[in-house]
Structures are given as C-alpha cells and as structure tokens.
Structure 1
Amino acid sequence: MAEERIQSIGLHNELQRSYLEYAMSVIVGRALPDVRDGLKPVQRRILYAMHELGLTPRYSYRKSARIVGDVLGKYHPHGDQAVYDALVRLAQDFTSRYPLLDGHGNFGSVDDDPPAAMRYTEIRLALIASDGLLDEINQNTVDFIPNFDGSQEEPIVLPAQLPFLLLNGCSGIAVGMTTSIPPHNLGEVVDALIAMVRKPKLSDEVLLDFIPGPDFPTGGEIFIGKGVKDTYLHGRGIIKMGGVAHIEELQSAKYRNRRCAVVITELPYQLSKASWIEKLADQINDDKITGITDIRDESDRDGMRLVIELGRSTEPKEILNILQRRTSLQTNFSAIILALVNGQPVQLSLRKLLEHFLSYREVTVIRRTQNTLEHVDKRLEVVEGLIKALCDLPRVISIIQSLKNIDNTQLNLQAHLNLTSIQADAILNMPLRRLTNFEKNTLLQESTLLRQERRDLYLLLRERESLLKSITNELKSLKKRFATPRRTVLRDENIYPNNYLTTKVEQQQVVEDPLLNSQLLISQDGQVRISTIQSIKKLRLEDSVEIGHHPSPLQLLLTVNSCPNLLAFSSTGRVGLLRWEMVREQPHSIANFLPHSLREGQVIQIVPLPSYTKPNLSLGLLSSDGHFKRLPLEVFRDLSGRATTVFKLKQGVNLLRVIACLENQELILASSMGRLLRFKLQKGILPLVKRTAKGTLLLKLLPGESIAGATCIEDQSSLILATAKGQIKRLSCSSLKVTERGHLGQIGLPFRKKGDTLVDLQSTSSGIVSGQLSSGRSFRLRISDYDIESTLGFGQQMQLARGERIKRLIPLIRNSNSK
C-alpha cells in the first residue's frame, strides 16, 4: 500500500493563493485585451487559426464550425459556444466599427436576434484583419509560445499595424475590474498617431482636436463635454450619447388636422431596437407616455426607420423630448480604458494608449526590418556566387567534370572561386538552362537592387527618424485604404446643456398656451412636473397630514406664467440653472433638466431667482462646517448652460443650505446639540462678499456636534424645530438673544429623550412644513396648530415607529399666484 502523503496548510493561505491565481488567469487569459493589438486571447486565437487555414479575403468562405473546431483543438480548450460567440462579434458590423471577419449568413442583428448555428454560417478574414493585423505574422515580428499541450505554437500578440483597441473598442468583465472602450474613427486615430510621431509632446487640447470623440458603428450622436474629456485624459468617464430623430408631417392639412410622426433613424450604440420598441409600448400602455397612436418599424436593408405616429393634437417636439428623457433614446456610455500593459492591467489615458501602440509598432517594424535584412543578405550571397560562376563558367565546368565525389566538388569550388558553402551549393543546384548571358544580366540587376535595399534597411535600423517616417507612410497608406467617414455626430454639451432642445426659442415654445396658468411642482425626491390648478387643489396642501406613505413632499410650487429662473445648488458648492421650460405633465427627475456638470453632487436645494432687482436681497450659503457667506443676486444672473462654483469647500465639507436674505434681517443658526445663535445681517457683521470668498466661521462645532440648519427671520416671527426622535416645537424668535460670531449661543430646545439631536429648523412664513422620516414615510404640519413657546418649552412629541427617525423638515416655497 502506498504511503499516504498528507500536508497540513493554512486554509486562508491556500484560498488566497488559489484565488489570486484564478483572478490573474481570468484577467490575463480571458477578459482584458492587450494594449498592443487590442485583442483578447480568444479573438487572437480565432484570427491566427483562420490565417493558418488560409482563409484570406481572396479565397472562399469556410464553415464557422471548422474554425471553432480548429481553435478548440489547437489553441483554446474551452467551450465551443464561447468561441463561436467571440467569432460572431468579430463579424458584426453593428458591434465593431471595423469588423475583422467577413461573415456569410445570419450573424445576428440590432434587434438582438441570435445568430444562426455555427454549422450554417460561413466566415473568412476581412481585408483589414488580413492586411492590418496578420500581414507581418511570418516575418519574425512577434514571439511565439507553445500551445496548451505543446503540439503547436501560437503568437503572444499579433503584429497590429493599427491601434485596434481604439478602432473597435472592447468590453470585458474580469475579477474585480472591467473594461469598456468605445470604438473610434480610423482616419482620426491615424491623424493623431502621425501628429504624435512628428511632435511627441503634443498638448492634450490638440490631441483631442484630432480625436474629438468616439465613432460608433450604429451612428447616433454624442455630446462632447466633461465625460469625453475625462475619458481621454484619465481613462474613465461617462459619455452622453443619443439617437437621431426628426419630425415628419404625415398629412398635409390645416393645423387642426395636421398629423405628425417622430422618425428615428439611428439608435444609441448597443441598444436593441426591438427591446426599445417593446419598452416604449409598455410605457404607452401604462399611460406614462401619451399622445402616441402607433409605432411602426419600417427598417430595411437601406437602414433603420422607426415611425412613431402621433395624435392630431399632440405637439411633436414635446413627444420627441419625452422620448429622449423617458426612454433610452438618450443614454450614457460608461467608458473605462483598461488594458494589459506588459501583462498587467492598467487604466490608460488616450495619450498613453497611443504611446504604447507607437512603441510597439516601432518594435515590430524593427524586427520586420531585421528579418527582411537577413533574407536580403542571404539572397545577395547566393546571387553574388551565381554571378562569379557565370563570369568563370568554363573553369566551374572543368572543376565539376574533374571530380567524382559531389562533396569534393563543393569544397573545390569554394577553394578555387573563393565561395561560401551556400554559394557553392547554389551553383551545383543551378539548372543548365540558366547558363546564359541573359541570366547573368538579370543577376547583376538583382544584385544592384538587393544592395540598395540593404542600404535602406540599414538606414531604418540606424536612424530613428527614418524608422518613424516609414511608420508614418504606412499609416497614411492604411488610412487611404480603410478610412471611412465619421458616422456618429458630435454635439457640444455646452451648447446643448440638457441635450434635448437646441435653442432658448425652442425651449420657450414648449410652454404652450394651455399650460400658462398651470403650476410647476418640484418634490423632495427630485421629481418635477407641471400640473393644473384643479389638480393642485385636490392635494389639499393647507391641511396637516399624519405620518404615512404619502407622495414625496413638495418643496416648490410656482405658477408657470410668472415662474422665475430657478437656481439648483449641489452639495459640492456649485450652482446651475434648472431648465424648467422643458417640463411637462409627466414627472421626471430634475437631473434631466440640469447642466451635466452639476450632476457630480447631490442637488440640495432649488431657489427661485427673482426676475426683478429686489433691494438688499442676497443669497446666504451655509456649509456643513459652520462657514457662511452672502452673495449678491448679480452673481447668479449671468449663468449660462454651465454650472459654476459659488462656494469653494474643503474635502469632506458640503454645502448645507441656501437662504434668501434681506439686509437687516436676522439669521438663526442651529446645531445638532440644540444650540441656537441669532445674528444681525448687517454689512459690518455679515457683509456681502465676492463669489471667490471663503466665508465666515459662525459657529465652532464641539466634538460630535454638527450643523442642523439655518434660516432668516423677521423680528416677531417664529421657528419650527424638529429632533430626530420626534420632538416638534414652535419657538418664539424674540426669546433668542442677538449674539456675535464665536458665541456659544443658547439652548433653544431641551430634549425629552436621551441621545436625541436637533435635525432641522425652518421659518414658519410658509404656514405649512412637511417632514421626511428615515423609513421613507412623511408628514405635513400646519404651523398654526402649534403654540409659540420660549426657549424653556419642550414642544410636542410625535409618535414614531420603533427605530424611525425624522431626517429633515421641508418648507413649501411658492409665489403669491400659487396660493
């Protein structure tokens, strides 16, 4: 019986080692592409197997099953379906900008139709793969390694002449990392490469002029802005993309009988047409989108055409904007440029990717040149030997006739004519028909050409300038052969801040006469919509509501015909205009109507900006660390489509609240421990400052303390205060003393329960205040139901569910016409 060999090892050590080996195997061996040829291992093996089978564009197609079998048996011992799926993607012209395979048969469609089985489809190499990826494979340009069983050899990487990682993009999910690279236009990429060869220290701005954005095979539009810039400069970003649509008139008649349709000719990249139609139909059936009477797919071999027929009274531009906001007609591409560099996953900027490719291309051209030089030297050696033989032909014949042993003949030729063994062997193998003066002249001409070629090759190896010139000429040749016009239209995100409407005129046209007397509603959960006055009355906003699962509380209610500009403030200290003109009856997220650059932080507050200049009116900004500053309204009147920073905050500090302030009003500031401070808003105490000012520290926080909130008050007004554990109190402002900066303040609300904290305070001027709980439930308070108390009062206790907490109070802001 064999002796048992059991070795005790730590489980955590074995798991760590095994998992690391598995992770690296997936990262290097399956999921991520190589920066040099832009291919994953399975894609590389498919292309090399087809090259070995001779399936070039000049020959007929071969069954896909044959290729899959060769790849599995020789190079890739995994599932056959996985190999076939990879093969199919290489042949799909709606997936790859420049397909590397030429398919014959059903290889799927943009409708997400599955491809036919591998026994039915046929395949061969596309011209760009044959000439741009595999043309130099037999010229010792790359290294080969044994396959999985050592019976074959396969290339480590293919000698790509173009950066296919950029041209076709790539997507893959590895262990703990993912890559998602969009495709690009060949002509633009080649121009950028040539510019970098000529000027290696090309600025990022100029480089982005050469490659302004991705070029998707399905066309569509992309909005050039921060997302594209982040992708190219840092290797990661969100690229806004959309489909292409226009409005057609179906029936020429008077305005009342006019019928129109929204016609979509291009969808965003990797969006299934059939799935998009199905989801749109579901929204129509659920009455989430109204005004659409029919959806027809009229797509054919000439291109896509989706006809969305509208009702007679439906405004086409309104429906188009709804489609862009509520469906995937506009969506995002999350770009992550992650690839293998020297076997390690690296996130790359556009510049780094191109530099890595150019470095690799230099290496392959040098190796190709060295290989060609070796062949030229060998051929030149043979040619010079044959010329020597033809110049002294009688002597050669005499030597051959005088010796009986062929080995001695070769040695004698070498000795008498000063030949190498290779030259002597070539002379002995030369047919008699070549012993003519014509052959001698041909060899002399060939010798001259070979010597010139050798000089050129040596020049490439000695002078890098000549090498780079050769690379540039080859890139120009490839561009001339394979470049195609850009398919994806580029839009400037700054000109189209919300991407849906193009001009202010169009935005104003959306607000039609029937809606002029309606109300604009913005709720606490970030939903915005327009509603009629009759619908508003049904909400009974003046009544108190007990705790329950109610719709999200309203924070803004304004009449459309007198609605001012709305300022949206984010937690990062930035502000931008809310384009409310595009809002309709269906609720949408306010993010759809904000500048793209404002979406980095959470929108904390929407503030109406009066269209007139109100004397002494300013906006106060309060940060979470207790800093406060007042800005004049003029700072906010010239906002364009971009967001701008109005409060520069330290790391970890957020903008907490924005307060409308009048000169000589009073500011009440509260902390989580119940401390309240009362300040006079005067130029000498809290003056107006510039946008770049840091702000004044009003309250130095104690350990464990935080800012609860702040509000502006009149002399005889009151405040409503709320604690996390449900204590509600209406406090008389006159009971608070006016203090100076740095004062400790006074306790405005004694807590009933141990561990309670003050979470918010609001002015009572609106008459109604809503509250939001940690469970998602909400309530609404009528201020008049609470008695005014002094600082010593405890207020009323609200009954909360176990573990439930009050998060914030939400006052309702409205203009006079909304009451």
Structure 2
Amino acid sequence: MAESITTTEFSSEMQQAYINYSMSVIMARAVPDIRDGLKPVQRRVLFAMNELGLNADKPHRKSARIVGDAMGKYHPHGDSSIYDALVVMSQDFKKGMALVDGHGNFGSIEGDGAAAMRYTEARLKKFTQEVYLADLDKDVVDFKPNFDETEEEPEVLPVRVPNFLVNGSEGIAVGMTTSVPTHNLGEVIDGVKLLIDNPAATTEDLMAVIQGPDFPTGGIVINKSDLKEIYESGRGRIKVRGKAEIQRGTRRTDKDQIVITEIPYTMVGANISKFLSDVAALVENKKLPDILDISNQSSKEGIRIVLELRKGADAERILQALYKKTKLEDTFGVNMLAIAGGKPETLSLKRVLEEHVQFQMEVNTRKYRTLLKKETARKEIQEGLIRAVDIIDLIIEIIRGSKTLKTAKNCLITGETQGITFRHKTSEQQARKLCFTEAQATAILELRLSKLIGLEILALEKEHGETVKKIARYEKLLGSRRAMLDAIKGDLDHIKKEYGLPRKTQILDAQSAVYEEEPEKEVPAVFLMNRFGYVKTMEESLFQKNEESVMAEHKLALPCMSTGKICLFTGQGNLHQIKVQDIPSGKPKDKGVPIENISNFNGENESGLLFTTSEAMSGRKLLFATKRGLVKIVDASEFETIKKTIASTKLGEGDELVSVEFLEKSELILVSQDKTYLRFAAEEIPEMKKASAGVRGMKLAEGDAVCQIIQADPGESVKIKLGSRRYGLDKLKKRDARPEKIIK
C-alpha cells in the first residue's frame, strides 16, 4: 500500500486533536443527556442490568457480573468507574430516587466506601423498570452499534420523568462542569403537567409547584429569593444549612445540647468527619470553649450529632458560630449543563421541562405507532379467523383435498382450486370466491381445532372488539397533540401516586449566620522547648512556681503573650512563625508536641539561630551575619506577615546564616574560623530590606568563614584566649573605611 504523507501545521493539528478529545469527554463521559438525564456509564449499567433480566422480582446478582457485562458489551473503560456508577445509583442519600436495589455493603452517608464488587449484589428497582426502562421493545428510542459493533445499545433510555432534575447530576468535563441539585419527584411531575397545560408559563409559575431543590439529606435552603434567578439562568449558588435544635436541660443537673438531625447535602461522605474535627479544633483553640463534648450518634434511623454544652452557655451563639465556621452551612454551586440537541448547553428550569415534554412526545408517538401497527396486524388475523369459523367446513374440505400446504394456502388467498379435490361441486364454487390475506391464510392453517369450541369463538369475537377499541384509541392519540399530552399527564399521575415522596428539604429566606468572635484575652505565658524539639506553653504563674524542675527538662523558655507569635530564624535564611494559640498548653509533666507538627520548621534540615516573639521584635532592629562575611541590619517591621514561613534574607549558593540577633550595642566584632577578628562601628552597616543579601563586612582568606559576631560598647573590653595568652579585643584598631560592596 502506497504511503500518503500530509503536510500540516503542527499547532492546528494539536488544536483539532484537543477539540476532539474535549468533545469526546463532554459527550461520552461527563455530561448527561437532557432527554434521560443520564451519563453514558449510568445508561449502560441500567441497560446491561435490564438485558440480564435483573428485575425487582428476581434474585440479586453479583455486582461483578453486572460490571463485567457493562464493560464487555457497552462501556470499554475501567471497571472501577462502572462500579462507582452502580454504587451511587443505589445510594438513597445521594440520589433523589435510587435506581438500583443494592444488597450488601454499598457505602454509608458518613463516607464509608462500598465493598468490593465480588461481595455485593444488585438488581433493578421497580421504579427503574417502570419509569426508565419500560417500552424499550416498542421502538421508542434509536439504537446504535456498541464500540465493537457486536451489540446494539440505546442512544438514550425512554425515561418518563425529568431525571435531570429528580436525581440531579455532577460531572467535570474539559473546561466545563455540570452540577444539578436533586428535586422532589412529585413537584417535578406537577411542573411538567403545568407546562403541558400552559406552555407560556413563567419560571415564577413553575416555582409555584417546584419549590426548589429537595436534597435526600434534608436540610434547609436559606436563600429562597435567589432561586428564581438561578432557575432562569441555570447558574448560581444555593445556600444549604443543616437542621439543628437546641434541647434545654429539663433538670437542674442536665446540660443544654445542640442536636443536629439533618445535614447539608455537601456534607455527605467524609465531610461529616471533617465537621466533627472542625468542631473539636474550635474547642481546642478556645473559639468555642463552652462545648464540652461532641458525639456522632447517627444510625440507620438517621443523622444525630449531639453537642453537649457547658452549663449556662449561650447555645444560640454557639449554633451561629457552627453555621459560620463549619460545613453545617455551605453552598451548592448550580450549573445546569446538559447535552441538548447534540451540544452542551446550560439550561433554565423551563427549558429543561420543555425538552422533557418534547422528548416524551417523540417517545410516545413512536410507542403508539408501534402499538397501532401491532394491533392492526392482530385485527387482520382476528377478522380472518372469524370469517373462517363461519365457513370452517369449506376450509377443512380444502385442506383435506390439497396435496400440499402451498396449494391450500394459495386457494385461501386467491381462490385457485386447481389441484384440490372437492367432495361437492358447490364447495369448489365457494372456494373460488375466497380472498383471505396471506397473514390470515397462515393463521387459518395454523388454527387448532380446540379454537372451534363455542366459548373460544366468543372469546375471539370479544378480543376483536377490544382490538378495534385499541386501534381507535391509538389513532386518536396519534392524530391529536392534545390527546397525546393528556396521555402523558395520565402516565405522570400514575407515577406520582405510586412513587411520590414528601419533601425533605425546607425552603425559606433566612438571615446569614451572625457571629462575632469575642476578642481573645491577652495573658502572659511561657513558651517551652525540650532538647528533642517538643514544644508547649505554660501559664506564667504555673511556670514561676515550677521553674527549677521545668528548666531541668527544657532547653528553652521564652516569655510570650497568648495572642502573639513565636518567631524562629534559621541558618537556612527562613523565618518560621507559630501562633501561640496553636501551641498546646500544658502542665509541667506534659510532653507537648513536635514543633514540626505545628510549623514548617524541619529540625533535621534546619538549624535554629534565634527564638523570639512578635512582641519582643516590635520597634527593634535585627543584625544578620553569614559565614561568607556578609552582614546587614533589618528593621523588625520587615517581618510583619501572616505567612507561616518567609525568607528572612537572601543567601548565595553554599552560604548560610551564622548569627541573627537584636542590635543592642554600637560596635561589632566579626570572628572567623581561623581566629581572625575585625572590630568596627555598627553604623557602618547600612539598614537594608529582608530580600537583600547584605554587604561584605570582612574579607576572608580562602577556606576561612565567619563563625561568630560579637556586640560591644565603645571601650568595652572583650577578652579572648589564643594559645596561653589572653588578648583584649578593645585593642583592635577600628577600620576607617565603610563596607564598600553591597550584594543585592
């Protein structure tokens, strides 16, 4: 085969390939079709279960079998994504109407995962059979070849309710997402009926029956006034709040409790445990010290989270704090994106219902055409059999006188008598008048003699009468749009009566949580660190009482304020800050926590040079010196930041800080590893920014490095020992020139 080389622009080829990939993800994976509200994987799982005959009245079948069939026949992707879809469709705490009846561990509302597919079993819900999969055999939707063209699968399922609203949808595609809340089945059905009766209905009219989202977890939607704009645009944010009640103690010794019985939909899963840990953190950080205990008493009966309060606590204020600072009040982002008309589109509430009505008209038209064709064929046969009963003796004579079945059949259709032996001449004359259709002739020849009993003949005539009525009904439905819409409404009424449930989520306009934190009391404390890097704080008075024993166990004791920060400068040029309130408070025998657990400081790779406090740094200047002889002075205000870690200086490759200290004296002495000393006035060092490297304070011989910096006052004698002699550093001559080289 000859090669064909196409020259093309690389960028345009990549652009087209990315567009193709994006559309594939959008259309074939992440975004539901507005007609049935299902993603491809959900549709294929349900269809595979239907093909396996897993009806509600049949035994459950292993989930692994369902996943295997769906993957092997229709969805050639990972088995985990197929099983995840199966699991979610069985979870009534995630779906407005669960579609799969799961047997075994299918996860919990608290975030527990489902058991492996080899352990669980599933079958279809009766609701799914009747509302999602009924009439597939009546040519109501188009079928298409599967991925390897060995099977046929439906393009969409003939879902009879707006599943896009009832069960909602969540999906992330390339450059777009879909996020639709669940709604109440009965309300959505009423909305469809309202639109059928009044196509000009406004969003406000529809919201008279569709109040808003109805989450399976209940809760309260608190921004009712925003829903109209959300449903008109298809986008917005719904504020959801858990339902909690304050239970007052009935006896003197009883404590008040806050009991949470419903949670926001966004808290489903691991967010419940996160809520518990967030409350515990608020208690530990003394934001909500009046909460004495929190317990999760949830069970199969429902959610129950109990917070026990201190006697005399302001329960209402604590509840407002929980709304403000935890997931007990959250937002649900709405983006009603779906595939409509073959392309992704964000739809309004009315447009969603209009698309559903149009889809139902198409499905029902195809359904009744199929039924009409079937009943017409049945009527033809019934009429043939009724005529045949009246002349049954003649037909028996034709059959007995024919040598072949073809001869007898031909006689019944065309009246051709050649090759047939008749007993009477009149019989032959009557036979020539026969003109049954081919279908009638076939049915007559297959007629069993038992059907000639009188009662059977009456039953046949009754059946014919019913068939005629059905044909008349189908023709009326197909000939009148109004009649078809009324039939759709009738189906919806049946579904609502059979499967409708009361609303779970309350819709109202409520004020946002109002909570003002009480200013934290500023009390003196002591920061302690032992030789293993464990830190804690201690009340100042308690430290003073036990100072001797405490200092025997700790290498560092730093006075601080409860509202301040501990500042740690490291040899690697970093400043780590730790809020005092984040450090656990303890008693003398308490161990504390590793400093790495509450800060970014890594004791294995960093050397701590200066521990100080934000209060001690206020209004002061810091002196920096590196082993390569660079020095600088930085105003402490440079380090005022909310970040936990910042760079305190700029270091060259291979350089590191050897000293960070407060500038307290007017003269400085640099000391090198080779015992070289240089004394000069501190005013010779310029004040610089934290991002600068500094100026060269001392020229070093090759291989030498600064190891220390000493501060001294003019005339102050600083003694050093070299060998057997002692020298006074006050005898060193001061350098006349200022440091000339600035390293930026």
TM-score for the superposition, normalised by structure 1: 0.61
Rounded Cα–Cα distance in structure 2 between residues aligned with 1:360 and 1:481: 22
Cα distance, 1:367–1:283 mapped onto 2, change above 3 Å: same
Match of 1:692 in 2: none
The Cα offsets for residues 153-189 of structure 1, whole Å up to 9 and x where unpaired, read as: 0000000110111000000000000000000001111
Which residue of structure 1 aligns with residue 462 of structure 2?
445
The answer to whether the aligner puts 1:489 opposite 2:489 as a matched pair is no
Cα offsets for 1:712-732 (capped at 9, x unmatched): xxxxxxxxxxxxxxxxxxxxx
Partner residue in 1 for 2:258: 262
**In structure 2, C-alpha distance between the alignment counterparts of 1:175 and 1:460, rounded to whole Å:** 43
TM-superposed CA distance for 1:801, in Å, is 8.0
Counterpart in the other structure of 1:285: 284
In 1, are the aligned partners of 2:160 and 2:360 still within 8 Å (CA)?
A: yes
Give 1:4 shift: 5.9
CA drift of 1:435 comes to: 1.8
CA distance in 2, matches of 1:349, 1:773: 52
Please give the TM-score of this superposition, normalised by the length of structure 2.
Answer: 0.67
2-structure distance, mates of 1:398, 1:533: 114
Q: Would the aligned equivalents of 1:299 and 1:305 in 2 still touch at CA under 8 Å?
A: yes
What's the CA shift for 1:772?
A: 13
SS at match of 1:246: strand
2:74 maps to which residue?
Answer: 75
Q: Do the aligned partners of 2:188 and 2:210 also contact (CA within 8 Å) in 1?
A: yes
2:442 to 422, 425, 429: 425
Equivalent position amino acid for 1:497 in 2: Q
- Return the offset for 1:8: 3.5
Contact 1:111–1:275 (Cα < 8 Å) also in 2: no
Structure 2 equivalent of residue 31 of structure 1:
30
Match status 1:150 vs 2:129:
no
Asked if 2 retains the 8 angstrom alpha-carbon contact of 1:213 and 1:490, the reply is yes
Deviation digits for residues 378-432 of structure 1 (CA, Å, limit 9, x no counterpart): 1111111111110111110111111101111101011232111111001111111
CA distance, structure 2, for counterparts of residue 35 and residue 139 of structure 1: 21
**Separation in structure 2 between the aligned mates of residue 332 and residue 154 of structure 1, nearest angstrom:** 38
Q: Distance in 2 between matches of 1:299 and 1:258?
A: 22
Give the 3-state SS of the residue equivalent to 2:92 in structure 1.
Answer: coil
3-state SS, counterpart of residue 179 of structure 1: strand
Secondary structure of residue in 1 paired with 2:464: helix
Q: Aligned partners of 1:532 and 1:446: how far apart in 2?
A: 87
The one-character-per-residue Cα deviations of 1:26-69 (angstroms, maximum 9, x if unpaired) are 00000000001000000000000000111111111111000000
Post-superposition shift, 1:214? 0.2
Q: Which residue of structure 1 aligns with residue 530 of structure 2?
A: none
Given that residues 223 and 499 in structure 1 are in contact (C-alpha distance below 8 angstroms), is that contact kept between their aligned partners in structure 2?
Answer: no
Structure 2 SS opposite 1:276 = helix
For 2:505 and 2:455, locate their aligned partners in 1 and report how far apart those are by CA, in whole Å.
59
Shift of 1:270: 3.4
Cα deviation per residue 1:111-154 (whole Å; 9 max; x = unaligned)? Answer: 10010000111100011111001011111100000000111000
Question: What's 2:17 paired with?
Answer: 18
User: Does structure 2 retain, via aligned residues, the 8 Å contact 1:133–1:160?
Assistant: yes
Q: Distance in 2 between matches of 1:70 and 1:300?
A: 35
Give distance in 1, aligned partners of 2:641 and 2:288: 30
Equivalent residue of 2:512, what SS? Answer: coil
Q: Deviation of residue 275 (structure 1)?
A: 2.6
CA positional deviation for 1:488: 0.6
2:58, 2:188 → 1: CA distance? Answer: 30
CA distance in 1, matches of 2:228, 2:476: 40
Q: Compute the displacement of 1:267 (Å).
A: 0.8
How many residues are matched?
519
Distance in structure 1 (CA, Å) of the matches to 2:315 and 2:208: 35
Task: Give the conservation status (yes or no) of the 8 Å contact 2:222–2:507.
Answer: yes
Distance change in 2, residues 1:449/1:251 (3 Å): closer
> Is the contact made by 1:231 and 1:337 (CA closer than 8 Å) also made in structure 2?
no
Give the aligned partner of residue 306 of structure 2: 307
Q: Runs of 5+ in structure 2 lacking a partner?
A: 416-433, 524-562, 565-580, 582-636, 644-686, 693-744
1:214 corresponds to which residue? 213
Question: What secondary structure does 1:296 align onto?
Answer: strand
Match of 2:353 in 1: 354
Matched, 1:459 2:473: no
Question: Is the contact between residue 266 and residue 304 of structure 1 (CA under 8 Å) also seen in structure 2?
Answer: yes
1:534 positional shift: 8.1
Equivalent position SS for 1:73: helix
Q: Is it true that 1:104 corresponds to 2:103 in the alignment? A: yes
Contact 2:266–2:332 under 8 Å retained in 1: no
Q: Aligned pair 1:498/2:512, yes or no?
A: yes
Q: Distance in 1 between matches of 2:264 and 2:488?
A: 35
Match of 2:123 in 1: 124
**In the aligned structure 2, how far is the partner of 1:774 from the partner of 1:290?**
29
Q: Root-mean-square deviation (CA), in Å? A: 2.5
Q: Give the alignment of 1:354-433 within 5 angstroms.
A: 354-416=353-415, 417-433=434-450
C-alpha separation between the residues in 2 aligned to 1:428 and 1:287? 93
Report the Cα offset of residue 443 of structure 1: 1.4
Correspondence for 1:668? none
Matched-pair contact (CA < 8 Å) for 1:261–1:308: yes
**Cα distance change of structure 1 residues 532 and 279 upon mapping to structure 2, 3 Å threshold:** closer
SS at match of 1:270: helix
Say which SS state the counterpart of residue 497 (structure 1) adopts: coil
Q: For residues 340 and 373 of structure 1, what CA distance do their matches in structure 2 show?
A: 32
Task: Output the CA distance in 1 between the equivalents of 2:396 and 2:442.
Answer: 14
Distance 1:7 1:801 in 2: 58
How far 1:298 sits from its partner (Å)? 1.2
- Residues 158, 772 of structure 1: alpha-carbon distance in 2 compared, 3 angstrom cutoff: farther
How far off is 1:363 after superposition?
Answer: 0.6
Counterpart secondary structure, 2:222: strand
- 1:17 aligns to what SS in structure 2? helix
1:159 match: 158
- Indicate conservation of the 8 Å contact 1:37/1:158, yes or no: yes
Query: For residues 587-666 of structure 1, what are the structure 2 equivalents within 5 Å?
Result: none
* Alpha-carbon distance in structure 2 between the residues aligned to 1:453 and 1:490: 45
| Equivalent residue number for residue 519 of structure 2 | 531
Q: Distance in 1 between matches of 2:394 and 2:461?
A: 20
Corresponding letter in the other structure for 1:71? A
- Following the alignment from structure 2 to structure 1, what is the Cα–Cα distance between the partners of residues 184 and 305? 26
Residue number in structure 1 paired with 2:613: none
The change in CA–CA distance for 1:774 and 1:236 in structure 2 (over 3 A counts) is farther
- After alignment, is 203-212 or 402-411 more displaced? 203-212
Give the whole-Å Cα distance in 2 for the aligned partners of 1:462 and 1:280.
64
Structure index of larger Rg: 2
Displacement of 1:335 after TM fit? 0.6
Which amino acid in 2 is paired with 1:435? Answer: L
Partner residue in 2 for 1:765: none
Structure 2 Cα separation of the partners of residues 260 and 345 of structure 1: 52
Judged with a 3 Å threshold, the aligned counterparts in structure 2 of structure 1 residues 108 and 532 are, in CA distance, closer, same or farther, namely closer
Is the Cα contact below 8 Å between 1:221 and 1:241 reproduced in 2?
yes
Q: Distance in 2 between matches of 1:11 and 1:288?
A: 58
TM-fit CA distance, 1:475:
0.7
Contact 2:203 2:349 survives alignment (8 Å): no
Aligned to 1:177: 176
Instruction: Give the conservation status (yes or no) of the 8 Å contact 1:227–1:240.
Output: no
Matches within 5 A, 1:464-479: 464-479=481-496
TM-aligned CA deviation for residue 799 of structure 1? 9.6
Check the 8 A contact 2:204/2:228 in 1, yes or no: no
Aligned equivalent of 1:197:
196
Deviation per residue, 1:596-635 (Å, 9 max, x gap): xxxxxxxxxxxxxxxxxxxxxxxxxxxxxxxxxxxxxxxx
Cα distance in 2 between the residues matched to 1:269 and 1:80: 27
In 2, the alpha carbon distance for the partners of 1:208 and 1:153 equals 40
Mapped partners of 2:211, 2:112: distance in 1: 32
Conservation of the 8 A alpha-carbon contact between 1:213 and 1:224: no
CA distance in 2, matches of 1:409, 1:336: 68
